[in-house]
Structure 1
């Protein structure tokens, strides 16, 4: 597991201009583009300092499995690996996934709890549907 001396994670807001990190911090911005036809995801990372000056970037392609959240998390990992390699810490990560921020900042421990709940919901829907009751989602 990668360890950073200091790490902040925040939810990206589409309405704001680029908010700079605190003085002497670096900020990781990321984006991913998915091409379902080709089964590929393009991951893009940019690292800037607190004055907004460009420090590093990375662009790569990965296979797309159909899970958008996985792609979003993959681009963050790509950025963190770049930051660690270059020693650009402390780091602020801006991320547009509420679930991803919650997992990174340990407000929730894993998606496993959510997956069990979804499994229960699916089982309930299947059971009710077999009893001729309609369930629409």
Structure 2
């Protein structure tokens, strides 16, 4: 599995305006929405460069598992897989999911089925930064 050599993860507030990543970096923004009547989750991913240009996007539907953190983490993983396929590094991940970013960065843990998904995300980013740490800013 190809790993991301440089990565930062951050929490995005719904009120703050999008800001570009540092020069020569890419930023992955992900989000998910739930349609409980259809039992579906819709995942969206946008990747932009430091010049604020759209580099890649992805939209997909998945069955809703009943756990919002699982859906939010699924959107992050969808974006990471796209980033790896396109070779867009270094990368900053931004999400409005407090628990999703906390799970990915290891600040909290869960005994739910989300663990395997978080494991997959961490497998992509195990080289995290030059110091070997995932930076949560």
TM range (shorter): 0.7 to 0.9
Counterpart CA distance in 2 for 1:100 and 1:44 is: 15
For residue 2 of structure 1, report the CA deviation from its aligned partner. 5.6
Cα drift, residue 106 of structure 1: 2.4
Structure of greater relative contact order (alpha carbons < 8 Å, 6+ residues apart): 2
Count of matched residue pairs: 112
Q: Secondary structure at the match of 2:51?
A: coil
Structure 1 vs Structure 2 CA RMSD: 1.6
Structure 2 residue ranges without an equivalent (≥5): 112-137
Match of 1:111 in 2: 110
Distance 2:65 2:103 in 1: 20
**Structure-2 residue corresponding to 1:89:** 89
Q: What 5-or-longer segments of structure 1 have no aligned partner? A: 113-137
Which residue number in structure 2 is paired with residue 127 of structure 1?
A: none
Larger fraction in helix: 1
CA shift for structure 1 position 107: 2.6
Query: Which entry has the higher C-alpha Rg, 1 or 2?
Result: 1
Distance 2:83 2:77 in 1: 10
Aligned to 2:59: 59
Runs of 4+ in 1 over 2 A off after TM superposition: none
Matches within 5 A, 1:28-47: 28-47=28-47
SS in 2 for 1:73: helix
Distance 1:40 1:2, change over 3 A: farther
TM-score (norm 2): 0.76
Matches of 1:2 and 1:73, distance apart in 2: 19
2:12 counterpart residue number: 12
